Chains A and B, each alone.
Chain A
Amino acid sequence: IGILGNTQQKTFAVVYDVANQKIGFGAKGCT
């Protein structure tokens, strides 16, 4: 399996929408 590591996740708002079984990425999420 591939693994998406934390380096590649940096600065994105990573959204775990468990209710709807979706994962979201929002650019410039830390600002």
Chain B
Amino acid sequence: ESSGAPDWHVVSVGSLLPSSICAAATAASNSSALSVVHRHGPCSPLLARVGGAPSHAEILDRDQDRVDSIHHRHRGSGAAPAINPARASKGVSLPAHRGLSLGTGNYIVSVGLGTPRKDFSVVFDTGSDLSWVQCKPCKDCYEQQDPLFDPAQSSTYAAVPCGDPHCRGLDSSTCASGNRCRYEVVYGDQSQTDGNLVRDTLVLGPSDALQGFVFGCGDDDSGLFGKADGLVGLGRAKVSLTSQAAAKYGAGFSYCLPSSSSSAGYLSLGGAAPSNAQFTAMVARSDTPSFYYLDLVAIKVAGRTVSIPAAVLKAPGTVIDSGTVITRLPDTAYRALRSSFAGFMRRYKRAPALSLLDTCYDFTGHRTVQIPSVALVFSGGVTVSLDFSGVLYVSKVSQACLAFASNGDDTS
């Protein structure tokens, strides 16, 4: 193949499951790089909730909420979604905006805020724009990992006034007493954050500071945030971290998500691309300006192109998202991929489906397994041969599933 990638992955069954011990090394290769870890793995700074991390089935079920909210935003439905009355009453003065569901497969980074710096563990999300943390004084905050951010203790804190372009540019904002800009984000799973839009110094890595970073100071927050201290938005809008950091670091960012929840990756603003990176066109759509789109044009299994009509992939487009766990394909494309993959896997015993994953295998009794490679081909001929960790979702040795799912049909 043009990528030079092997057509098969040969993997020891003993290495399929992540370690329960964090094996993360120091991640930062430059001063603005942040270490990225899985929210529910042993490297996460967030304490496990009561009863431990969610099950794989729970993670995948919640993933569908995230996908549903992406589709909802893409369709641009004019009708306001139904809001839980209990939640709606909290943000009565603000127009509720339905955002993305958070999902539970999110990754965590640590950032510093204020002067002197205080550290916070926040979800990172390429599908939304506004960054926020919970702040003092708090009317109604959920329990989080670290002490709340206290603006009174920071010498560089300032409120953002109502006339500020960042305030006027928000999807949902109002002007409160004292010329304070109030924001609200209602996520697709009904999680919600309300608070003041503020500015303070953001510290990335050991010491690299971004002065005057605009973010939300949440004081009325609830939902499925776990113990995260907040969220950092990496979407395309002007208020996102990546947009605000562009003047200092350049208009771009990169990240690497680790192969296992027991190891670490990185998030880096600016900086040079790795020399082996292959580039495809980024596509923008005015109806969903926060999302990053690209053009997926073909799929290969074991080096052979799967038979999928070009229009099936090309017409709807593809969003790349850090917060969705499992790649979704148009139904025709998924069925073709599944058929091809299963054809190469006939030597293995089938296992029951796992939530939305319907092509699963039982590797019990095998020392090694041989899995066909899966490659995604993007416009321009860029062929990305997935790592083994991107082909199978392994809940246990007796249930390893093709890590793709259908959107249900080709048009929804």
Contact string against A for B residues 370-412, beta-carbon threshold 8 Å, 1 for contact and 0 otherwise: 0000001000001011110110010000000001100100000
Complex contacts, A11 vs chain B, CB 8 Å: 256-259, 387, 389-390
Contact A27 B385 (CB under 8 A): yes
Contact among B67, B294, B390 for A23, CB-based, below 8 A: B294
Whether A25 contacts B277 by the Cβ 8 Å rule is yes
A21 and B254 form a contact (CB under 8 A): no
The residues of B that contact A21 with a CB separation of less than 8 Å are 281-282, 284
Q: How many residues of A contact B (CB 8 A)?
A: 29
User: Which of B274, B284, B325 has a CB less than 8 Å from the CB of A29?
Assistant: B274
Contact status B407-A2, CB under 8 Å: yes
Contact between chains at A1 and B387 (CB < 8 Å): no
- Which residues from chain A contact B63 at a C-beta distance below 8 Å? 5
Q: Is B113 an interface residue (CB 8 A)?
A: no
Chain B hits for A3, CB < 8 A: 67, 70, 318-321, 324, 327-328
Alpha-carbon distance A13/B390, docked complex (angstroms):
14
Interface centre among B276, B277, B313 (most CB of A within 10 A): B277
Among the stretches B114-122, B155-163, B245-253, B361-369, the one at the interface with A is: B245-253
B277, A13: Cβ atoms under 8 Å? yes
Q: Distance in Å from the Cβ of A6 to the closest Cβ of chain B?
A: 5
CB of B292 within 8 A of CB of A27, answer no
Chain B residues with CB under 8 Å of A29's CB are: 254, 256, 265, 274
Smallest CB separation, B285 vs chain A (Å): 9
Query: Which chain A residues lie closer than 8 Å to B407 at the CB level?
Result: 1-2
Instruction: Check if A7 sits within 8 Å of B282, measured CB to CB.
Output: no
Chain B residue contacts of A18, Cβ below 8 A: 236, 242, 246, 251-253, 282
CA distance A8 to B110 in the complex (A): 23
Asked if B326 contacts A7 (CB within 8 A), the reply is yes
User: With A10-B257, A23-B294, A25-B382 given, is the CB distance from A1 to B70 under 8 Å?
Assistant: yes
Least CB distance from A30 to B in Å reads 4
Chain A residues near B376 (CB-CB < 8 A): 4, 8
Interface range on chain B: under 10, 10 to 19, 20 to 34, or 35 or more? Answer: 35 or more
Q: How far is the CB of A23 from chain B (nearest CB, A)?
A: 5
Residue of B nearest to A1 (CB): B316
Closest to A19 in B: B251
Q: Shortest beta-carbon distance, A15 to chain B, in Å?
A: 4
Q: Which of B236, B242, B327 contacts A8 (CB 8 A)?
A: B327
In the complex, what distance in Å separates the CA atom of A8 from the CA atom of B63?
A: 14
CB-CB < 8 A to B328: which residues of A?
Answer: 2-3, 5
Given contacts A1-B318, A14-B320, A21-B282, contact A7 B393 (CB under 8 A): yes
B256 touches A13 (CB 8 A): yes
- Chain A residues with Cβ below 8 Å from B348 are none
Per the bound structure, the CA–CA distance linking A7 and B322 in Å amounts to 9
What are 23 of the A-B contact pairs (CB < 8 Å)?
A1-B318, A3-B328, A4-B318, A5-B326, A5-B327, A6-B322, A6-B324, A6-B325, A7-B390, A7-B403, A9-B257, A9-B390, A10-B258, A11-B257, A12-B387, A13-B277, A16-B254, A17-B252, A17-B282, A18-B236, A22-B280, A24-B277, A26-B276
The 7 nearest A-B residue pairs measured at CB: A24-B277, A26-B277, A26-B274, A2-B318, A29-B256, A19-B251, A18-B251
